Chains A and B, each alone.
Chain A
């Protein structure tokens, strides 16, 4: 059970990090493209990413009985 918890945390952190970076990336792109290199879309995007990650993490932790389905390839 502890590994589950650990795994959850790993997933959560990884997910958050990805979202943040993705948000940061999108933010940078939007700032560069649309908003004449303003910083607010970068912060907005990273924040967006962190928020999403945080919520996901929380949901993950809240819904313990939610089974994460995995795609099993037919071999």
Chain B
């Protein structure tokens, strides 16, 4: 409605731009009287201020119960007003409202109070810690947001104040009929008020921003703590949400108030602008009419000439006519304008209403939600308590039952277990005995086999020992025989060997349990034992020397042995030539018995190492030759005999040794 008036005012101001300032003042007064008179304006402004003050008080009382109590105490009948506006001062909301106090300590205390009983329950768990942290964060953010909100509200209120002051001053400046010298002071005041207002506005806006920020952070903290999903946090969260909601509501109210004041101020400023514009237009008209006259339209009265005055009056009359016409037009169109304005206003009102309705709806919804949640929380608690008691009862019953059942089960199980145990023990015992027996048998078997093997080994060893003994003896025999053999070889050319006695003794010692060897050893001729035997070489040499003598006495025998025969045999030996050596035939015939032949045969045999054959041949000699070679023959016989025995012994020893020696 005021905007419509303002538009009307603009139009009229434009139309009345050439009017006299006085008349314009009048007109203004007239214009203003068209809508409302100045007094009415003042009354309206005063009413507005009062109503805003009351509204603010009510709002604040709604938020701050202490304030409400104080006001009720001091101002009579205010309790009626408050109960009308806010409902009875509900004490049950106090504990929750307490948390929304502007004192930071209370806001900190109650969450602490609430959190402390909450924390005593899950004190030992991590929940308690997170709960403490959550409550701490909540109270922190609550405190900060309360502070900032209050600051914002205060700033807004200050801004409101400044705005109202400014508008008031502006209106004053617009309408007051003060002498010109105070006008400048007024304008200065106005400017100051304007500056103040702008400053306050800025402060308010910054405070509002900050408050919004903190509210936003509080909201996020609440959401986070809601997201933690801990049961004990719910009342805290609920309280914080309520606080948040209240703060938002208050902030919104204050903001709306400020906005309305701003709009008012805008209207007033627009009005003042219009007025200024009208004035300026009028001034321009006037100056266009009277170009030589400058400056203030108020100072024109003393300087104008009659023409100018006439021109001005004419212009003024013309203007009056125009304005009358416009007025008539306006009156005609008044209704339409008013209808249009009303429509617009209705629309705007509707919009505003809608907006207000929306916001209040939201607020109400929020409140309802909070209420619901609170109720839910309470209900949950109650249910939980009941459930706990029921559970306890049930648990007690259950424990009793379980005890009984357990006793019974214990008996049963024990019996079963004992049975099983006994059976298993029996089984184990039988198995154990069986194993034992098996082990014993195995052991006996092993022992027997071991014993048999041991016996076998012992026998083998004994036989080995015996065999070794035999072998040793055989070796010893062989060695002794070899020694004996060696002693046969120890001859010089004409001397006999060393006596074989010791060697024979050794042989006899090494075979004292062997009859054959003993016989053989004792078969050695005595001469060889005592005196030794001649070697073959010596015999050969001797024979060679004997041969000439034997040849010389070839004719001498028992019957022919005179010296004459000797002479004849010497002659024969000198004259008869035979072979030195001649191979003897395998069979001797009669003519082979000739001593010379025999001697050559024997020589041959001796030369070829056949002492035996030589001895045999020499044995065929008769007579004196026989006597001459008798010694040699004996010697040869001796040697041959010894050699035979020794060879027999060595052969025997070799045989025995071979027999005892184990081939690898």
Chain B positions 523-568 with a Cβ under 8 Å from a chain A Cβ: 545-546, 549, 553, 556, 561-563, 566
CB of B604 to closest CB in A, whole Å: 21
- Whether, in the assembled complex, A62 has its beta carbon less than 8 Å from a beta carbon of chain B, the answer is yes
Question: Are B549 and A2 in contact, CB atoms less than 8 angstroms apart?
Answer: yes
B63 within 8 A of A: no
* B632, CB-defined interface residue at 8 Å: yes
Near B by CB (< 8 A), chain A positions 30-54 give 54
- Which residues of chain B from 572 to 628 have any CB-CB distance to chain A below 8 Å in the complex? 624, 627-628
Grouping DSSP codes into helix (H, G, I), strand (E, B) and loop, the B interface class, with mixed when no group exceeds half, is helix
Q: Which residues of A contact B632 (CB under 8 A)?
A: 1
The interface residues of chain A, by DSSP majority, are classed as helix
Chain B: minimal CB distance from A47 (Å)? 16
Q: A5-B628, A61-B561, A61-B563 are in contact. List 18 more A-B contacts (CB 8 A).
A: A1-B546, A1-B549, A1-B628, A1-B629, A1-B630, A1-B631, A1-B632, A2-B545, A2-B549, A5-B549, A5-B553, A54-B563, A57-B563, A58-B561, A58-B562, A58-B563, A61-B556, A61-B566
Residues of B within 8 A of A62 (CB): 561-562
A57: which B residues are within 8 A, CB to CB? 563
What CA separation (Å) do A61 and B631 show in the bound complex?
17
Q: Min CB distance, A2 to chain B, in Å? A: 5
Complex CA distance for A57 and B624, rounded to whole angstroms? 15
What separation, in Å, do the CA atoms of A54 and B562 have in the docked complex? 10
Residues of B within 8 A of A54 (CB): 563
Count residues of chain B with CB under 8 A from any CB of chain A.
Answer: 16
Cβ contacts under 8 Å, B546 to chain A:
1-2
Q: Which residues of B contact A64 (CB under 8 A)?
A: 624, 627
Closest to A55 in B: B563
Distance in angstroms from B78 CB to nearest chain A CB is 193
Q: Chain B contacts of A1 at CB under 8 A?
A: 546, 549, 627-632
The closest CB in chain B to the CB of A62 belongs to B561
- CB-CB under 8 A from A5, the residues of chain B are 549, 553, 628
Q: Measuring CB to CB, which residues of chain B are less than 8 angstroms from any residue of chain A?
A: 545-546, 549, 553, 556, 561-563, 566, 624, 627-632
Distance between Cα atoms of A69 and B631 in the complex (Å): 21
CB of A50 to closest CB in B, whole Å: 11
A2: chain B residues within 8 A (beta carbon): 545-546, 549, 628
Distance A11 CA – B130 CA, assembled complex (angstroms): 161
In the bound complex, CA of A5 to CA of B553 (Å): 10
Residues of A within 8 A of B563 (CB): 54, 57-58, 61
17 cross-chain CB contacts under 8 A: A1-B549, A1-B627, A1-B629, A1-B630, A2-B545, A2-B546, A2-B549, A5-B549, A5-B628, A54-B563, A57-B563, A58-B561, A58-B563, A61-B561, A61-B563, A62-B561, A64-B627
B558: min CB distance to chain A, Å: 8
CB distance from A64 to the nearest CB of B (A): 6
A61 CA to B624 CA, complexed, in Å: 9
Distance to closest chain B CB from A19 (angstroms): 14
In the docked arrangement, what's the CA distance between A64 and B549, Å? 15
Nearest first, the 5 closest Cβ-Cβ pairs linking A and B are: A62-B561, A1-B631, A58-B563, A2-B549, A1-B628
Residues of chain A within 8 A of B627, CB atoms compared: 1, 64
- Shortest CB–CB separation between residue A70 and chain B, in angstroms? 20
A64 to B625, CA, bound (A): 12
Residues in B whose Cβ lies below 8 Å from that of A58: 561-563
Chain B nearest CB from A15 CB (Å) reads 13
CB closest residue in chain A, given B564: A58
B1 to chain A, nearest CB (A): 200
CA distance A2 to B548 in the complex (A): 9
* From A1, A5, A57, A61, residue with most partner B Cβ within 10 Å: A1
Please give the distance in Å from A61's CB to the nearest CB on chain B. 6
- Report the nearest B residue to A6, measured CB to CB: B549
Which of A2, A58, A61 has the most chain B CB within a 10 Å cutoff?
Answer: A2
- Bound-complex Cα distance A2 to B628 (A): 7
B565 to chain A, nearest CB (A): 9
A12 to B331, CA, bound (A): 229
Chain A residues, Cβ within 8 Å of B630? 1
For B553, list chain A residues within 8 Å (CB): 5
- Chain A nearest CB, measured from B265 CB (Å): 191
Nearest-CB distance from A68 to chain B (Å)?
A: 16
A57 to B632, alpha carbons, bound, how many Å?
A: 24
Least CB distance, A20 to chain B, in whole angstroms: 15
Shortest distance from the beta carbon of A7 to any chain B beta carbon, whole Å? 12
**Which residue of the partner chain A has the closest CB to B562?**
A58
What's the Cα separation between A62 and B627 when bound, in Å?
A: 12
Give, as a whole number of angstroms, the nearest-CB distance from B32 to chain A.
208
- Chain B residues with CB under 8 Å of A61's CB are 556, 561, 563, 566
Question: Cβ of B562: which chain A residues have Cβ within 8 Å of it?
Answer: 58, 62
Cα(A61)–Cα(B549), bound, Å: 14
Shortest CB-to-CB span from A3 to chain B, Å, is 10
For the complex formed, measure the closest distance between the CB of B282 and the CB atoms of chain A, giving whole angstroms. Answer: 209
